[in-house]
Amino acid sequence: MNHEKIASMFSLDGKTALIAGASRGIGEEIARVYGLAGAKLVISSRKPEGIQEAAARLREQTGAQVLAVAANISKPEDRKKLVDEAMAWAGRVDILVNNAGTNPANGPLADVQESAWDKIFEVNLKGPFILSRMIFHAWMKENGGCIINTTSIASYGTGGSLEGAYCITKSALTHLTQILASEWGKHRIRVNAIAPGVIKTRLSRALWDHPGMEHAGQNLAVPRLGEVEDIAGAALLLASKAGELINGQDIIIDNGTLVSR
Ligand SMILES: NC(=O)c1ccc[n+]([C@@H]2O[C@H](COP(=O)([O-])OP(=O)(O)OC[C@H]3O[C@@H](n4cnc5c(N)ncnc54)[C@H](OP(=O)(O)O)[C@@H]3O)[C@@H](O)[C@H]2O)c1
């Protein structure tokens, strides 16, 4: 084993990665690491200006070729546009990262609006499932590939009854990961997930950017909150040759939160 061998184990040269939910936060950082590892990038999120700005940052910082597509993962016409544009531009999608997620349904389940319930399931569960199936038919069924879903430690808990709907979608996404892994392994497709604990992003701002939250993370096994860089390394492992036998797993990256409960 030498440096070249190590580099080739983690190289994404010749691969195209589609990352949904990549204009900021965890998704943008995964795209950055994939670009630095040699992948061509297709990135998407809802807001056109946000995804174009992320594409410009990624081109400058990684030297990668980047296609930015504004698409809401919960809308059928947007999913079709995303897959069609990715295939027309790159001709292949070897790596799919279903990272877009939302939580519009805070509060006890008894009070969650039906519209919020529908939205959270559309974005966090149905979007990843349908997009995976579209990429399966467009490329991976014949050519193999790798799918990574961003779940959460919420997959493994109740969220203190304030995030019940979010927890249910993420548990289901973990289960979807396992079932697709078992169904699609014969097509040389690996399906895994990453389950972050609290990572400092816009989505989790309420958990760390509030008066009284200055010491958030200090009670964790290693006393600090997560940063987006803490997630991207595992995403590279799962997408690269180094992770070739990892399939059907949900890799928990939570700084020991679950084991400390
Ligand atoms: N941060 C944490 O502590 C944490 C912990 C556990 C799990 N997670 C999961 O990690 C993933 C990324 O979260 P993050 O913390 O990085 O959040 P973030 O900073 O808010 O980024 C979310 C990204 O997803 C996009 N997005 C949101 N809704 C979308 C939709 N319907 N269709 C397409 N794109 C959409 C956003 O861009 P637009 O607004 O332009 O659409 C943005 O690019 C989520 O699945 C989240 O559930 C986060």
Distance 8 CA to ligand 1 centre (A): 30
Provide φ and ψ at 46, rounded to 5°.
Answer: -70, -45
pLDDT per residue as tens digits for the range 165-179: 999 999 999 999 999
Distance CA 155, CA 174 (A): 7
HSE, CB side, 13 Å, CA atoms: give it for residue 42: 28
- By CB atoms closer than 10 A (0-12, 13-18, 19+), residue 118 is middle
Query: pLDDT tens digits for 92-134?
Result: 999 999 999 999 888 899 999 999 999 999 999 999 999 999 9
Residue 201 in contact with ligand 1 by CB distance below 6 A:
yes
Ligand 1 proximity of 199 Cβ (cutoff 6 Å) = yes
Say which CATH architecture domain 3-252 belongs to. 3-Layer(aba) Sandwich (3.40)
Q: Is 123 close to ligand 1, i.e. is its CB under 6 Å away?
A: yes
Domain positions in the chain: 3-252
To test the pocket of ligand 1, the residue of 52, 58, 99, 230 to mutate (highest count of ligand atoms within 8 Å of its CB) is: 99
Spacing, Cα 144 to ligand 1 middle (Å): 26
* Widest Cα–Cα separation across the chain: 58
pTM here is: 0.98
Active-site residue (options: 166, 174, 198, 199): 166
Place of tokens 């399931």: 121
Check pocket membership of 45 for ligand 1, CB cut-off 6 A. yes
Ligand 1 atom 39: the closest Cα is on which residue?
46
**19 beta partners:** 43, 97
Cα torsion 32, 194, 99, 161: sign: negative
**Strands, DSSP E only, in the chain?**
16-20, 40-45, 66-70, 95-98, 145-150, 189-196, 250-253
What contacts 120, CB < 8 A, 6 or more positions away?
Answer: 102, 103, 104, 105, 165, 166, 169
Active site residue 166: yes
Report the nearest atom of ligand 1 relative to the CA of 200: 1
Residue 152 CB less than 6 A away from ligand 1? yes
Predicted confidence pLDDT, tens digits, the chain (261 residues): 789 999 999 999 999 999 999 999 999 999 999 999 999 999 999 999 999 999 999 999 999 999 999 999 999 999 999 999 999 999 999 999 999 999 988 889 999 999 999 999 999 999 999 999 999 999 999 999 999 999 999 999 876 668 899 999 999 999 999 999 999 999 999 999 999 999 999 999 988 888 878 788 888 888 899 999 999 999 999 999 999 999 999 999 999 999 887
Residue of the nearest CA to atom 19 in ligand 1? 25
Q: Which of 203, 207, 227 to mutate to test the pocket of ligand 1 (most atoms within 8 A of CB)?
A: 203
- If you measure from the C-alpha of residue 212 to the centroid of ligand 1, how many angstroms do you get, rounded to a whole number? 24
